[in-house]
Amino acid sequence: MLTNTDRRFAPLASALRRVAVSTLALASSVLLAAAAQAGGLEAPVIGCEQADEMVEITQSSRLDPSCEWTGGIRVVASDVTLDCQDARIVSTNVRYGIHIIAPVDTPLSNVTVRNCHVEGFLNCIHIEREGFRELPAGEEYENTFSNIVIEDGSVLNSRGVGLYVNGYVTDVTVRRLHIEGTGSSGIYLETGSRANFIEDNEIVNNGFRENGPGGQFFELAGTTFFFWGPGREGVAIDGSRDNVVRNNYFEGNSSGAILLYKNCGEFPDSNRYFERRYGSHGNVIEGNTFVGGDNGVWVASRMAENTIPMECTDPQYATGFVLDHADDNTVRGNLFENVTYPVRVEDDGTIVEDNEFVSDDPAHLAVLVGTPVRTSVLGLPVDRTRISGNQARIEGNQTPYRWVHGHADTTFANNRSFGDAVGFCEGEPPARGPFVMAIEFVQAERDDPPQREAPTLPTPRPLAACPTCRGDCNADGVVTVDDLVRAVRVALGEIDADTCSLVDRDNDGAADIAELMAAVDTALNGCVRAG
């Protein structure tokens, strides 16, 4: 029998039971979602009856791999995993294969897309904050993306960019993909994107359609032209910051492997235009393998390119030329095999360290620093480059570390060729086309394109060995009193020999009397030509 006290507390007890049940249910749902995310529970399978429709993903799901998916996939929710189970997602007339998207006022996090083989779309994978073009300055990174992972699949034969990370998207990891045959760049990091990881991918044979050797038409000042271009790169870092590109394999990409630059605010009348506020700064490129091609890593690839056809909104400092912005980047611990220009540096603060350069072509270089127009017009040569600890074995080229058009405040330390310490000396400027992404152009009618073999830029010629200045600690071409003082400090063991590797002729980590005398002789009589 209930007492008055029991009756008084009965409503409270009932409420507590309801709260407990609700809490247990919520906890169970959270645990189930976490288990599914971790692979503890199998996500539901989307059947082939939807294979020709656009499929929207709002919860963790798997695709039936027994059919081809032709309508595209949209991922619009956080905390989901899409496992394609090696299904093929294929179309030649749909815009996006897999579209990961959320409005700019909605954060998106913890999305994984894996085991998907995407082919033929304009962009096989596109990651986008919807409405990003209208974001005001200072508010670009509110409600942003985090922990977006694309892994273990392939991107093939896209009509445009293969995998597109759009403006102000952050924290995307792209790993263990095979990316091949894209019409434009294999991977494109758009202006304002940042802190993304590209790792352990194969990025090969991309970029031959857009601005490629097959040629295409363009309009300039009311006149129609046809131009042939170098094509596009394996990875475009366009005004994108603080990214890491590591442990990837690059080969056969049309204009090069990795190009860093800032879009100049091109084509302001286009519906794709938006204000480009950031340069390509603070990126780290490490542990990759680059095989063949004209360009490995090209820092500030548009610094000396004439951009008149692009109708840039950035100010010109000379007719057709705007400043490119790609400073304070690091190129470290990579292997370059038979690349014509493995590392090209045209902006400031680049670190090039601990790379290996191998080639059987004596015309190939290891590092080339310098930019022509900015230097001659503004008096601003490339500044603050640090080149250290690199090893080269380029047959017939004993001195493959070169500069053109001048340089300033360069640190050059412990760089070797065939095991010998060598210097940093003047080279020859590489060939350039008349305009950015153009090798040659002619006036033509759209119904009558030119019928001839695609032109190419002249190939570089082997260079004579340049002087090696024994005791030239900062690789400026002369041995100064400051260099001699540093050499003596190396001999006394006060500083490491790597700080003045050109005094250590026998590479034993020290400087003896004979090596000090060689430095003094260089100071008095000039440098000797490397043999």
Mean pLDDT of 415-434: 94
pLDDT at residue 445 is higher than 80: yes
Other residues' Cβ atoms within 10 Å of the Cβ of residue 341: 21
Q: How many CA atoms lie less than 13 Å away from 149 in the CB half-sphere? A: 16
Mean pLDDT of 135-145: 95
- The confidence band for 5, taking pLDDT boundaries of 50, 70 and 90, is very low
Place of tokens 């049940």: 21
pLDDT at residue 57 is higher than 60: yes
Q: Which residues 6+ apart lie within 8 Å of 66 measured at CB?
A: 48
Q: Which of 358-362, 376-380, 405-409, 463-467 has the lowest mean pLDDT?
A: 463-467
Q: Which of 50-54, 305-309, 473-477 has the lowest mean pLDDT?
A: 473-477
Residue 76's pLDDT is 98
Mean pLDDT of 399-409: 96
Residue 23's pLDDT is 43
Q: Which of 228, 178, 226 is nearest to 206 (CA)?
A: 178
Residue 495's pLDDT is 83
pLDDT at residue 485 is higher than 90: no
Please check whether residue 160 is in contact with residue 184, taking contact to mean a CB–CB distance below 8 angstroms.
Answer: yes
Q: Which of 363, 320, 373 is nearest to 340 (CA)?
A: 363
- The confidence band for 181, taking pLDDT boundaries of 50, 70 and 90, is very high
Mean pLDDT of 50-76: 97
Q: Which of 64-73, 115-124, 438-447, 463-472 has the lowest mean pLDDT?
A: 463-472
Residue 102's pLDDT is 98
One-letter-per-residue 3-state SS of 248-262? CEEECCCCEEEEEEC
Q: Which of 351, 360, 345 is nearest to 292 (CA)?
A: 360
- The confidence band for 32, taking pLDDT boundaries of 50, 70 and 90, is very low
Residue 497's pLDDT is 75
Give me the residues paired with residue 249 across strands: 202, 289
Mean pLDDT of 3-28: 45
Q: Which of 237, 214, 236, 244 is nearest to 227 (CA)?
A: 214
Mean pLDDT of 37-48: 77
- The confidence band for 122, taking pLDDT boundaries of 50, 70 and 90, is very high
For residue 427, give both structure tokens.
């080279």
Other residues' Cβ atoms within 10 Å of the Cβ of residue 315: 9
Please check whether residue 423 is in contact with residue 502, taking contact to mean a CB–CB distance below 8 angstroms.
Answer: yes
Per-residue DSSP letters for 321-342?
EE-----S-EEES-EEES-SEE
Mean pLDDT of 434-446: 93
One-letter-per-residue 3-state SS of 211-250? CCCCCEEEEECCEEEEEECCCCEEEEEECCECCEEECCEE
Mean pLDDT of 40-44: 78
In this prediction the pTM is 0.89
Please check whether residue 128 is in contact with residue 151, taking contact to mean a CB–CB distance below 8 angstroms.
Answer: no
Mean pLDDT of 511-521: 82
Q: What is the SS3 assignment for 409?
A: coil
Question: Long-range contact list for 40-49, CB < 8 A, 24+ apart?
Answer: 43/81, 43/83
Computed on alpha carbons and rounded to an integer, the radius of gyration of the chain in Å comes to 28
- The confidence band for 466, taking pLDDT boundaries of 50, 70 and 90, is confident
Taking all residues of the chain, what is their mean pLDDT, rounded to a whole number? 90
Mean pLDDT of 235-263: 98
How long a stretch of residues is the chain?
531
